[in-house]
Amino acid sequence: MESPVLPLAAYQLTAAMLFTVGLVGVLVRRSALVIFMSIELMLNAVNLSFVAFSRAHGQMDGQIFVFFVMSVAAAEVAVGLAILVAIFRNRETASVDEVHLLKG
């Protein structure tokens, strides 16, 4: 018995909704940690889109590209959290409204 396959449009709709939630999180929230999580959500939405197109066209290009995006996202999280911890130790806040105080 063959398992049912969802159409490409279902994956794209899910990716679009995830990307929209991430974009709203970036634009509305003021906490740097929530903004980082929203950016990760947006990257995962793009990854879902790459994998869906890759599967629909029967090629591995999208899935290989997802591995590169995931490695860049992991590096971004490591560097971003290190910067966030340094800012929090100095300013005792994680609000992006306070970042302008870091200028010279």
| DSSP-derived secondary structure letter, 4 | P
Q: State whether the Cα torsion 27-33-36-37 is positive or negative.
A: negative
Q: Is residue 63 part of a domain?
A: yes
59-103 pLDDT, tens per residue?
A: 888 889 999 999 988 998 898 888 888 877 877 776 776 666 566
Q: Is residue 79 part of a domain?
A: yes
What's 50's domain CATH number? 1.10.287.3510
Whole-angstrom CA distances from 41 to 5, 7, 23 are 24, 22, 9
2-49 pLDDT, tens per residue?
A: 556 788 899 999 999 999 999 999 999 888 888 889 999 999 999 999
* Residue 104: band (very low, low, confident or very high) from pLDDT cuts 50, 70, 90: low
Give residue 43's pLDDT.
93
Tell me how many domains the chain contains. Answer: 1
Return the structure tokens found at 97. Answer: 């409204």
Give residue 3's pLDDT.
56
